[in-house]
Structure formats: structure tokens, C-alpha cells
Amino acid sequence: MSPEQISLLTGVISIIEKFWGWPFGLLFVAILIGPWILSLSLNQMERRRFDTMVQMYEHNVELVKGYERISTDQQDMLILNTQEWSKTREAVEKNQFCPMVRLEKIIRPPAAG
């Protein structure tokens, strides 16, 4: 090393020693440790967000299972309803319960065909 380089290095070191007080040390630590702290806090927030989304999807699965049970019950109800209305329709068409219709059938037999 040349004497000029040594004197430059000595000057830089003396300037750093003068600034190595509270503000410079704090700035130095903030520059070195700050990104790590920021990264860890962002990671924690993303983790919480991810856990919330997982919980939301689990609740959605339970909701879908509930709707599936409801739709199965509704399908059974519709089938039963259709069967009962078919029976009602047949009873109305035959109308064996009304005496006036029975008398009319006796007097005028239904047309064939």
C-alpha cells in the first residue's frame, strides 16, 4: 500500500469514528436489521392471511355439505309431492266420491275412445 492510500484509509476511519455515535449506529443497525424485521413481519401477516383463507375454505366445505343435505331432502319431498298429486289427479278424473258424477255416468255412459 502506498502512503497516499494509507492516509486516505486513515482519514476515512477517523471520519467513521466521529460519526459512530448514536445516530450513525442506529442508522447502520436499521439498514442491516431493518429489512429482516420487515421481512419477518410481512411473513407473519401473510401467514395469518393464509390461515384465514384456509379457515374460509373449510367453512365453505361445511356449507356445501349442508346444501347437499338440503337438496337431497328437497328432492325426496318433490318426488313424494309428485306422487301424491298424481294420485289426486287420478281421483279427480275418476271422481268416484261425488254422487252427481256417479249418477251422470250411470245416465250417460262415458264415450269410448
104 has a pLDDT exceeding 80: no
End-to-end, the C-alpha distance of the chain in Å comes to 123
| Percent of the chain predicted with pLDDT > 90 | 30
Per-residue confidence (pLDDT) for residue 52, from 0 to 100? 96
Per-residue confidence (pLDDT) for residue 90, from 0 to 100? 84
Q: What is the largest CA-CA distance in the chain?
A: 139
Per-residue confidence (pLDDT) for residue 51, from 0 to 100? 96
Tell me the C-alpha to C-alpha distance, in Å, between residue 89 and each of 82, 85, 100. Answer: 10, 6, 18
113 has a pLDDT exceeding 60: no
User: What does the alpha-carbon distance between residue 41 and residue 72 come to, in Å, rounded to a whole number?
Assistant: 47
55 has a pLDDT exceeding 90: yes
Cα 64 from chain centroid (whole Å): 11
